[in-house]
Structure 1
Amino acid sequence: MPFLPTAPVRIQPYFGYRNRERLRITARALRSRVGTFEKRGKWRAAKTMLGQFASHEVAEFPVELEIARPGIANRRHRGLTDEEGFVHFDIRLEPDWGYDEQPAWETVTFHWSAGEGQQCLDAHVLAPGSDTGLAVISDIDDTIVETGITGDFRKVVRNWRRVLMQMPEERIIVPGADVFYNALGGGEVLALGEGHAGESQPATHRPFFYVSSSPWNLFSYLVTYIRGRGLPLGPIFLRDWGLNRATFGSESHGAHKRAAIDGILAAYPELKFALIGDDSQGDLTAFADVALDNPGRVRAIFIRKVGERMSPEELTAKAKLKAANVPLWVGDRYDTGHEFLASIGLLTDDEARAIVETVEQTDPRRAV
């Protein structure tokens, strides 16, 4: 049964990304209110979170995407939402659609017609810089935050209170994750507010991409969390989540992440990547497969250790990475990874070294 069937249609944009040839961005047409994640009591928090899921997707809804680049005329591209309300744009760019020197967030604009008339909303697309040589792909669940929202149905039920009653500011960041991630290539935070298609603003020093098995309904929640915890912001690859084996099984988690990572690597064949994950969903074995299937593309792998011991599959993956000369860090605290960063040449500037010194002066077990 649809929720809020008479509410006006709004467009939920997700972060896009582009290379020199193609621009990709997704949005969703919903009949729902925009949630604000403010800490105002547990019942208000539960109502806010339930509202993220109690939305009515609008199928076959026309949406236009406006893109622009200095010196190039604005272009509009028309799309139609699918049965889940998603509209996917994969646009071939003109030959002179190049990069700035440093990574940047570029503004695009969605247009649609609703009950109030013509509507528009800005969205953002990440573009690497012409000087970019390394990008970062990170897991979210149990890597930067213990979400409790993935896994089988029993795990979801067991963690329902955390999911429904804690706002982003109440979630405890994995100790040291903010400093560690910024050492890898943090930088400017995407500014909020209205802009115009074709405008841009600085992004992180290195492009960041997040891959998670969480549902698209939690996109705004996760963006609020990442922003609030001072982590580098980047496109987030989530998935449509149904109550069935196809989306609750562990195999589906791995398949979704692998497909997302393969798509990112294919979009940027000139870049190398650092991969960050944890051992709660087999990230080490999955990342090893990525590295071995793409020789020379994976600069380093970082695994936060959550479990007590490595599985036979993980030990095999570790041995394969060693044989392939792919640097691997495994640890339970990010502050112990700074020497590893330096040893493989990922701390190359004074700013990064200053961040590492901050890590050494901080209690890694504190709850930030």
Structure 2
Amino acid sequence: MSWFKKDPLQIITFQSYGTDSHFYARGRALEDESIDLEDQHIWHLIVNTWKRFETDEIKHVGLDVKLPNNKILKVTTDENGYFIAEDIIGNLRDLTNEEGWLPFELSYNDVNIKRTIQNKNRFPGELLIPSNKADFCVASDIDDTILHTGVVSILKWKVIYNSIFKHAKNRIPLEGSADFYHKLHRGVSGNNANPIFYVSHSPWNLYRYLELFLRQNNFPKGPILLRSLSNLLRKKPQDEKPQKQKEIMNLLKTYPHLPFILIGDSGEHDPDIYIEIAEEFPNRILAIYLRSVKHKKKMLRVKGIVDSYKTTPMLLVENSQQAIEHARKSGFIA
């Protein structure tokens, strides 16, 4: 006899990306801790933060991934409950909507598993295959680029405070950023469906929090690319590239026919990362936009970098309107 009721199982899928012939989906199998995304009381915010990081992962379990054409892929979760479903499949774009989103469904492949919510062993997922209408892609940072997080605060205490004590619905996006991203998404024709990729150093534990923030503030829908908590904590070799840089480089390799616009901020390492990417992929980066942060020493360093860098258009902007004006003059938006 069990004295404690076990939490139901769930499968969280992370919006990912693929190509017409490459299916690539990832996510995590976890016990459902009943994180309330709506409640905004301070105690619930603290409890929710605890639940996000104290996860009960479902390790080494088999999952089925069912595509709209009824093709089924079989995957197994790893030690931390993560999974990657990857396969070479033809004509995947035929299964997408006009924006390029391909829906699929996940389930635990053990038919005897009954611990899912309402015994419904079906969990939705989707990935993005850029539309043929796309002229370019956008890879954007999140922290202090579209969401004020305080990454330049002493010991990053503002990041910790904001993530724990502020509800995603109460976080205020940087002014004009959602409008700028919609203009980039629609492109110069107003109907381009240019894909937006959101890249952050935050752990996957904050995926649903960030997804809610983007949706609540009307940002264009796009894959959110984060990193595992274990990678966040481990000591990296000196020559290893930052995870954000590796993600953007992988995007460039995945879509070799599309140029990119990179958006970040001047507070951390974005200028150095983006310049290195532009040097490695010459003629693929249309522009680099860096939002100014309130840190005098960092701003002086970044301004020097921007003024001396001539290979790719790089702008240090105080607000979204400055970026919009440059993008319009450059022919990126209408």
TM above 0.5: yes
Question: Structure 1 residues 283 and 5, CA, compared in 2 at 3 Å: closer, same or farther?
Answer: farther
Q: Is the 8 A contact 2:147 2:172 kept in 1?
A: yes
Deviations 1:31-56 (A, max 9, x none): 13242322442112222222222211
| Residue 48 of structure 1 pairs with residue 48 of structure 2 | yes
What is the aligned partner in structure 1 of residue 329 from structure 2? 343
Give runs of aligned pairs for residues 275-290 of structure 1, distance below 5 A: 275-290=262-277
**Which of 137, 141, 144 is 1:142 aligned to?**
144
| Mapped partners of 1:186, 1:38: distance in 2 | 30
Secondary structure in 2 aligned to 1:57?
Answer: coil
What is the aligned partner in structure 2 of residue 353 from structure 1? none
Q: TM-score, normalised by structure 1?
A: 0.78
What is the aligned partner in structure 1 of residue 308 from structure 2? 319
Q: TM-score, normalised by structure 2?
A: 0.86
What is the aligned partner in structure 1 of residue 134 from structure 2? 132
Alignment gaps of 5+ in structure 1: 188-202, 349-368
Question: Structure 1 residues 101 and 48, CA, compared in 2 at 3 Å: closer, same or farther?
Answer: closer
1:151 shift after superposition: 8.1
Q: Is the 8 A contact 1:62 1:81 kept in 2?
A: yes
| Residue 97 of structure 1 pairs with residue 92 of structure 2 | yes
| Mapped partners of 1:46, 1:268: distance in 2 | 40
Q: Is the 8 A contact 2:133 2:194 kept in 1?
A: no
What is the aligned partner in structure 2 of residue 359 from structure 1? none
Question: Structure 1 residues 234 and 318, CA, compared in 2 at 3 Å: closer, same or farther?
Answer: farther
1:134 shift after superposition: 0.7
What is the aligned partner in structure 2 of residue 154 from structure 1? 155
1:28 shift after superposition: 0.4
What is the aligned partner in structure 1 of residue 83 from structure 2? 87
| Mapped partners of 2:156, 2:250: distance in 1 | 29
Q: Is the 8 A contact 1:59 1:83 kept in 2?
A: yes
Q: Is the 8 A contact 1:24 1:88 kept in 2?
A: yes
Alignment gaps of 5+ in structure 2: none
Question: Structure 1 residues 32 and 204, CA, compared in 2 at 3 Å: closer, same or farther?
Answer: farther
| Residue 219 of structure 1 pairs with residue 215 of structure 2 | no
| Residue 234 of structure 1 pairs with residue 229 of structure 2 | no
Give the length in aligned residue pairs. 319
Give runs of aligned pairs for residues 167-206 of structure 1, distance below 5 A: 167-185=167-185, 205-206=193-194
1:152 shift after superposition: 10
| Mapped partners of 1:161, 1:251: distance in 2 | 30
Q: What is the RMSD computed on CA atoms of the aligned residues?
A: 2.9
What is the aligned partner in structure 1 of residue 11 from structure 2? 11
Secondary structure in 2 aligned to 1:119?
Answer: coil
Secondary structure in 1 aligned to 2:124?
Answer: strand
